[in-house]
Amino acid sequence: MDYSKMSPAKVRQLIREGKITGQTSGMCDGYAQGNLLVLPMAQAYDFLLFTQRNPKPCPILEVGDTGSRLVKIMAENADIATDIPRYRVWEHGIMTGEYTDVSHLWRDDFVYFLIGCSFSFEGELLSAGVPVRHIEEGRNVPMYMTNIDCIEAGIFHGKVVVSMRPMPADQAIRATSITASMPRVHGAPIHIGDPEKIGIKDISKPDFGDSVTIKDGEIPVFWCCGVTPQSVVMSAKPPIAISHAPGHMFITDVKNSLLKD
């Protein structure tokens, strides 16, 4: 089955029926996918404030009404508790289970946060003729802990996590211009060039994801990464949190190109 040309509504329906339980990479060509985080209302204000203060690592696509599973802005007729192929449940910062449906766990004090994902800007880079190395090499994007502090908010604090894509200088300029116009999916790079300047000692050893080839004459370009909010939340150890499982995203009805604003 080729899901790349299928509509987001149809794919979400198959996910809801349990007929798709795998990763969503490559599904619904051109449509934005989002990271999920669900928190109880008691932690929601601090987290919403954290995202306001740190929009580059934590670009919000949509926040649900308290207790609501309904997605209103980014999709039609979508249920955040059933329309993601795989969820993870975290208790006090520790993963305690994976589920393909979390409607039985939903509480009326839960708030969901849908967070923008670099899949969206990679689509725009490829359309603009900027190749993306880890896609070429069939790997996960390399990600690194930096020495850059997030601005803290209530219980949430930590370092910025970045993703890295190597490219020649002319492409780095084009990639900066394209992503600068997409603030809802991490925006412009946070750093270009020397990894040590942001506390990365060995570029060949990412903290998450896979290493990729950096060719002669290429410079590493670093973007804030959606792993930041998840790592910050897990280290704050809320009594309960629900996230998507890595690579198993929420597929929205909004085209990546419309995230330019």
Least Cα distance to 164 among 103, 225, 110 occurs for 225
User: At its nearest, how many Å lie between a second copy and the CB of residue 65?
Assistant: 8
Closest CB to a second copy among 115 and 132? 115
CA distances from 163 to 57, 59, 118, 182 (A): 10, 15, 9, 16
Which residues make up the interface to a second copy (CB under 8 A)?
41, 44-45, 48-49, 51-53, 60, 63, 65-66, 72-73, 151, 153-154, 180, 183, 187-188, 261
Q: How far is the CB of 15 from a second copy (least distance, A)?
A: 26
C-beta of residue 7 within 8 angstroms of C-beta of residue 206: no
Q: Specify the residue, 27 or 254, whose C-beta has the smaller distance to a second copy.
A: 254
> How far apart, in whole angstroms, are the C-alpha atoms of residue 102 and residue 108?
13
Say if CB 148 and CB 137 are below 8 A apart. Answer: no
CB of 40 to a second copy, least distance (A): 13
Alpha carbon 230 to chain centroid, angstroms: 9
The minimum distance between CB 151 and a second copy, in angstroms, equals 7
Strands (E), the chain: 31-40, 60-63, 70-71, 78-79, 87-91, 94-99, 110-116, 143-149, 159-167, 191-192, 219-224, 241-244, 250-255
Residue with Cβ nearer a second copy (191 or 248)? 191
Between 44 and 172, CB nearer to a second copy: 44
- Whichever of 141 and 182 has its CB closer to a second copy, that residue is 182
Residue 34 CB, nearest approach to a second copy (Å):
15
